[in-house]
Amino acid sequence: MRAVSIEAEPTALWVDLDRTALIIIDMQRDFLEPGGFGETLGNDVKRLLPAVPPCRDVLAAARAAKLLIIHTREGHRPDLSDAPRAKIERGEPAMRIGAPGPMGRILVRGEPGHDIIPELKPVDGEPIIDKPGKGAFHQTDLHQILQKHEIENLLVCGVTTEVCVNTTVREANDRGFRCIVLSDCCGSYFPEFHEAGLAMIKAQGGIFGWVSASQPVLKVLHA
């Protein structure tokens, strides 16, 4: 048992680090680099970059503190059999999921764009969850992995705040996990959605979870 108190909103909370995992959502080239899925949707991918250095620091500290570390990637099978038509048929036809782009086929597993950015590359032993949807629990074995490791608390980083981070936090909250979302380790193409996404999580006494900056978390991980 390694009980620590984390400064967070709407309240500080005690967690046992032995039952806490770090989950890094979709820090993939497809979302953070030009030419990928994020840009094909008309977004300015540079907006996500400020999340990278704090995420890298938390990842290093979590590794040193021997936390379970989980990475997720959004993407589809090459035959797109796991991609609903309703998801594929959005956006400009030449730039849809499965179309060829500068980083390979857009949002398809095994293509360069699907990779996690080099700064946050997973190391051996860190599970990677390949997810076809926005939520990391939907059609994946994430829940089983967390249960096997007796995890109760999740430190959540990644992109985008209001889409895959928020969806995953809501799924996790309904499954009984305490989620602490690290505000500066998340990012959105829309600054106002980033703020709203965090506000929705911590409102009403923490209806979906807690929000903390990375510094208080680094403090307890380093201790």
Residues engaged in binding ligand C5J (CB under 6 A): 26, 31, 74, 134, 159-160, 163-164
Q: Least separation, in Å, of the C-beta of 164 and ligand C5J?
A: 3
- Our CB check for ligand C5J shows the closer of 182 and 220 to be 182
- Our CB check for ligand C5J shows the closer of 18 and 140 to be 140
- Give yes or no for a cis peptide into 160 (omega within 30° of 0): yes
Q: Least separation, in Å, of the C-beta of 130 and ligand C5J?
A: 13
- Our CB check for ligand C5J shows the closer of 160 and 183 to be 160
Distance CA 53, CA 70 (A): 18
Q: Least separation, in Å, of the C-beta of 43 and ligand C5J?
A: 8
Token pair of 146 as six digits? 């967390």
- Our CB check for ligand C5J shows the closer of 90 and 121 to be 90
Q: Least separation, in Å, of the C-beta of 96 and ligand C5J?
A: 13
Q: Is residue 48 within 8 Å of 185, Cβ to Cβ?
A: no
User: Residue 104 carries which DSSP code?
Assistant: E
Q: Rounded to the nearest 10 degrees, how much is the dihedral formed by the CA atoms of 103, 107, 108, 109?
A: 90
Q: Show the DSSP H helices in 22-159 as ranges.
A: 29-32, 37-40, 52-64, 85-88, 142-148
Q: Which amino acid is at 77?
A: R
> What amino acid positions are annotated as catalytic residues?
26, 131, 164
Q: Least separation, in Å, of the C-beta of 50 and ligand C5J?
A: 16
Token pair of 92 as six digits? 């400009």
Maximum pairwise Cα distance, the chain: 53
- Our CB check for ligand C5J shows the closer of 178 and 194 to be 194
Residues 6 or more apart in contact with residue 112 via CB below 8 angstroms:
29, 103, 104
Token pair of 10 as six digits? 């709407």
